[in-house]
Chains A and B, each alone.
Chain A
């Protein structure tokens, strides 16, 4: 049997985050004696399929009905693909794409689904966070088939396979169910790297007050080529777009370096960043909970401290 990793394709290209799920699938395959294959679905995805082949055999479903991602139509295609290739497990890296789609696939396959897997245990069980990451549960899938979304922060990007895999068109016909259609998409435009992929993340909170105050983070992010993140409070206030929210109900990140500036460190925010390697917190309230998870905490006014820190970092790098 095989484990089918569902690729995420954006702008015709394979999204790097797909490779976190490949690593998960390889671990699971090693434990169970299965093989790993990658499913690339969409319209005009030949390029992405060729990219994916570096990591294993690829099954392609290229159909006009898959040009936009409506979960009902896609679920049929993914479930049929799993059937066609004899997969007993379907996995994808957790994202709004996979969270929207994979539960429907699980329902189609009669499979149990585990969300946000962070580890595979030697006895074939799975660990996943609950309660905003304050609890790690071990779960067992009771059905012959299983579906997973996996946390990118806990599984490294996969290395290419020894030899490239074959790319084959799968015998799956896709029919649009006609019940949902995408009428528009308003992309977040940003010159900064993706939150999930950045080595450094600079996050700000309500303490920065407004769009004007938020600008204090720009030169710091520039200095590291960092991604910018935010708390829910900042997103709710309309200061930054929704997809910059880090936390229990936003993105989960684990960069080498995470700056938490003028944010308190609510349980829900910490859930999204506590796996970062080095955490720096700047807050004017010495009691702020964020300090309890920070490797380096500095009590002070962000509007004063951040510009000073930028100058000091420039000096340190020059010297």
Chain B
């Protein structure tokens, strides 16, 4: 089975992000970048399927030149080769990312495309669904379990109110949730091996995609801050405050 997966570069998920005073973006000085956690789940799922049943995993990123590092992480986890679509974050919206990925899909013709459910920088949670619609494919979003059989995938998804299991005809699009698996840490030999794996670079123009954006981000600001930090000494004091100050009892 041939599986396409994403390897999006994101700011360190645990970093405290601050907005630039002029509101044009975020402070990037000293910031580290990682592979999007949900993409790690996607890569782990794909590599696991291929390890069991054979096939090939191809990883794709859309990003600046540094995104190649994150693509290498996916290769170190077990993807065979990488595709780097050259575009910077400010040249993208979810729709354009999806149209670029759909074009890569059409070139590669995989049986399965596994993405993350969301990117932890933009938090949009759109791209997998958009790709599925542009390609006319079935989707299973927020997957916590994937089983493949010839011609179909059975996917359990985490939705409000419980767990739903879907059967999809292949090819199909799946977006990974965090409980899908525990992503492996690349071993040193695999990191070294990944350096020699092929990465093909391609531009949006070469893919024949119109780069006009549908949604433009025009300003960034810090959210309103809570005035927290007050501590009480005893349970009695806490309950007194809840009753007489906050009036929530």
**A241 cross-chain contacts in B, Cβ below 8 A:** 162
Contact indicator A135/B132 (Cβ below 8 Å)? no
A113 at the interface (CB under 8 A from B): yes
A256 at the interface (CB under 8 A from B): yes
**A71 cross-chain contacts in B, Cβ below 8 A:** 129, 132, 139, 141
Give residues 212-231 of B contacting A (CB, 8 Å).
Answer: 212-223, 226-231
Give residues 119-154 of A contacting B (CB, 8 Å).
Answer: 125, 129-143
Stretch from A29-37, A50-58, A182-190, A210-218 contacting the other chain? A182-190
B211 at the interface (CB under 8 A from A): no
What size tier do the contact residues of chain B reach?
35 or more
Across the interface, name the chain A residue whose C-beta is closest to B10. A131
B167 at the interface (CB under 8 A from A): yes
- Expressed in whole angstroms, the Cα–Cα distance for A316 and B118 within the complex equals 45
Stretch from A82-90, A104-112, A156-164, A166-174 contacting the other chain? A104-112
**B220 cross-chain contacts in A, Cβ below 8 A:** 130, 135-138
Main secondary structure of the interface of B (DSSP, over half): mixed
Binary CB contact string for chain A from 217 to 240 against chain B (1 if under 8 A, 0 otherwise): 000000000000000100110000
Give residues 164-202 of A contacting B (CB, 8 Å).
Answer: 177-188, 200
Do A309 and B118 contact each other (CB < 8 Å), given the known contacts A96-B160, A135-B19?
Answer: no
B111 at the interface (CB under 8 A from A): no
Do A293 and B218 contact each other (CB < 8 Å), given the known contacts A115-B125, A134-B17, A268-B13?
Answer: no
Contact indicator A103/B223 (Cβ below 8 Å)? no
Contact indicator B169/A179 (Cβ below 8 Å)? yes
Q: Which of A72, A138, A177, A179 contacts B219 (CB 8 A)?
A: A138
Stretch from B55-63, B65-73, B92-100, B191-199 contacting the other chain? B92-100
B144 at the interface (CB under 8 A from A): yes
B189 at the interface (CB under 8 A from A): no
Contact indicator A142/B164 (Cβ below 8 Å)? no
A243 at the interface (CB under 8 A from B): yes
Do A180 and B168 contact each other (CB < 8 Å), given the known contacts A106-B95, A132-B123, A142-B216?
Answer: yes
Q: Which of B26, B123, B162, B167 contacts A187 (CB 8 A)?
A: B162
Contact indicator A103/B214 (Cβ below 8 Å)? no
Binary CB contact string for chain B from 80 to 119 against chain A (1 if under 8 A, 0 otherwise): 0000000000000111001000000000000000000110
Binary CB contact string for chain B from 150 to 166 against chain A (1 if under 8 A, 0 otherwise): 00001001111111111
Contact indicator B162/A243 (Cβ below 8 Å)? yes
- Expressed in whole angstroms, the Cα–Cα distance for A249 and B243 within the complex equals 33
The 7 sampled A-B contact pairs (Cβ below 8 Å) are A131-B123, A132-B13, A134-B18, A186-B163, A249-B118, A249-B177, A280-B242
Closest 10 CB pairs of A and B: A112-B214, A103-B129, A179-B138, A180-B138, A107-B133, A104-B133, A187-B162, A96-B159, A112-B215, A138-B219
